[in-house]
Amino acid sequence: MTLSVKRQVALQSHHTLGCPATTEYWTEVRSLNELVEACRYAKTHQLNLLPLGGGSNVVFTQPFEGLIAKIAILGKQIGNNQGGKVIVEAGAGENWHQFVCWTLQQGLSGLENLSLIPGTVGAAPIQNIGAYGVELKEVMDKLWAFNRETEQIKQFSVDECQFDYRDSIFKQPSSPWIIAKVAFKLSAKFQPKLHYQPLKQLLDGKSVTPQQVSDTVCHIRASKLPDPSVLGNAGSFFKNPVISLEQFKAIYQAYPEMPHYQAGSHQIKLAAGWLIEQCDFKGLYQGDIGVHEKQALVIVNKGNGTGREVMALASQIAKKVSEQFGVQLEIEPRVY
């Protein structure tokens, strides 16, 4: 066996919240063969198996009892031109932002609005990452995933991924699939998507390049969101809630200044950060765990906070928002 398995590995540096935790077993998989070996190792030893990318969307509240397989499958290649679209493939372990930068250097556009999102290429489809008016499902062509139960590789079309808002078939707790490689349909001819308000204000009416859009997105993100390498965080901790038109009208009467967005014919999306801010959590700290002072959607760890403290604060926030607005907040990261 070529697989290297370590025991009792500290996880603090392997997830962006930086909470102390350990895993019983740890391995890094750099190829499909090693992924197969990791799955077989977990089966043979009757271990829970957790595939881990950049660790930007997880909270560890206790020691992980099982095998964590760090997905480190690398590789990037430009494929065929299909109807004006250039197909680009990337291994699941590639750093997402570095991959976006690489596509721009190749003269290809399509991913620039998704710049500076933490995590890996393989993690991106799991929650259908989205930002500044673009969602992953719009730019993905297909992906390949490994079934840990049947040991089969399957190619998924966009429809088969069952993408939804921050959701996909891969995010379901019972999903046996581990993403190994993703293909994107990019363009050599730039068609900027600037309808998202902050981008519109800065760039609309100007002649812009994909790199300028990317740089602007990076600037906006950096001004609002803390860098996980400086201040531990898991990005947006809560999803923006989607409520019925009837419920929205009732809340809007009391809060006419409330930001809101159409999300289908009879549904409205609210800004979770705004709701949290109205409940006076913005900038509030409980020990080393707190709510970021610039963006109330982000729970941060100054260094020594635990995953349980993170979840305790998240629970308080959800309870207060429910009491004040009658809106249920759902958390984005996975909790272990």
Could you list the active site residues?
Answer: 166, 236, 332
Q: Are 222 and 147 in contact (CB under 8 A)?
A: no
Taking the C-alpha atoms of residue 26 and residue 39, their distance in angstroms, rounded to an integer, is: 12
Longest alpha-carbon distance in the chain? 65
Taking the C-alpha atoms of residue 145 and residue 239, their distance in angstroms, rounded to an integer, is: 26
Q: Tokens representing 212?
A: 């300028």
Question: Euclidean distance between the first and final Cα of the chain, in Å?
Answer: 29
Q: How many CB atoms lie within 10 A of CB 221?
A: 20
| Three-state secondary structure call for residue 26 | strand
Instruction: List Cα–Cα distances, 91 to 96, 122, 265, in angstroms.
Output: 10, 7, 38
Q: Tokens representing 282?
A: 């913005």
Instruction: List Cα–Cα distances, 250 to 238, 243, 265, 327, in angstroms.
Output: 22, 11, 17, 12
Block residue for tokens 């372990």: 93
| Three-state secondary structure call for residue 278 | helix
Q: Are 310 and 15 in contact (CB under 8 A)?
A: no
Q: Are 203 and 212 in contact (CB under 8 A)?
A: yes
Q: Provide the CA 216 distance to its chain's centre, in angstroms.
A: 20
Q: How many CB atoms lie within 10 A of CB 245?
A: 14
Q: Three-state secondary structure along 190-236? A: CCCCCCCHHHHHHHCCCCCCHHHHHHHHHHHHHHHCCCCCCCEEEEE
